[in-house]
């Protein structure tokens, strides 16, 4: 990285650090939780329903990896979703799991998607189409870079551990 790019990156980091993510997270959670309050679920639990719709029959490990949380949080959330009747485990053999949405879970997912759509409609209402397109392209670049770095980390870990 050239010094100019390093200076630019440093300035961006400083601006982002001054934004403090907690107020954003608090607003996000409060907004979603208000819209799903009658369901008995929280914003952190419905994230699991949103992931499941993309690929029914996910294991707990796949869900944990996709959402990026600790496995104990995934286990607690899934147990709660099972108790509430939103998901079922179709492979209850040993430690294997295949978590699938129920009809009730599909309906709950629709409520969740609407709540998130409402949130983003409000947050992004002052952005022009051009600004949204630039933001989307920027986020895709960031995602690709993160995937590239993750892939390199995993390859490095495998070579370090002898491919085990």
pLDDT digits 0-9 by tens, 30-62: 999 999 888 889 888 999 998 886 666 888 888
If one looks up domain 3-126 in CATH, what number appears?
Answer: 1.10.10.10
From 88, 99, 28, 14, select the one nearest 60 (Cα to Cα): 99
pTM value is 0.71
Residue range 88-123, pLDDT digits in tens: 988 766 566 789 999 999 999 999 999 999 999 999
Q: Report whether pLDDT(73) > 90.
A: yes
CB 88 within 8 A of CB 99: yes
From 115, 125, 104, 103, select the one nearest 47 (Cα to Cα): 115
| Host H or E run for residue 164 | none
């Amino acid at each position: 990285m050239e010094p100019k790019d390093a200076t630019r990156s440093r300035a961006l980091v400083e601006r982002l650090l001054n934004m403090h993510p907690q107020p954003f997270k608090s607003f996000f959670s409060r907004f979603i939780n208000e819209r799903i309050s009658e369901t008995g679920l929280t914003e952190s639990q419905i994230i699991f329903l949103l992931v499941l719709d993309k690929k029914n029959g996910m294991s707990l490990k796949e869900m944990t990896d996709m959402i990026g949380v600790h496995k104990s949080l995934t286990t607690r959330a899934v147990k709660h979703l099972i108790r509430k009747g939103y998901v079922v485990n179709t492979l209850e053999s040993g430690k294997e799991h295949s978590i699938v949405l129920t009809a009730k879970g599909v309906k709950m997912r629709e409520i969740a998607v609407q709540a998130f759509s409402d949130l983003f409609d409000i947050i992004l209402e002052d952005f022009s189409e051009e600004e949204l397109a630039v933001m989307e392209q920027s986020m895709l670049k960031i995602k690709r870079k993160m995937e590239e770095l993750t892939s390199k980390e995993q390859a490095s870990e495998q070579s370090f551990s002898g491919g085990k």
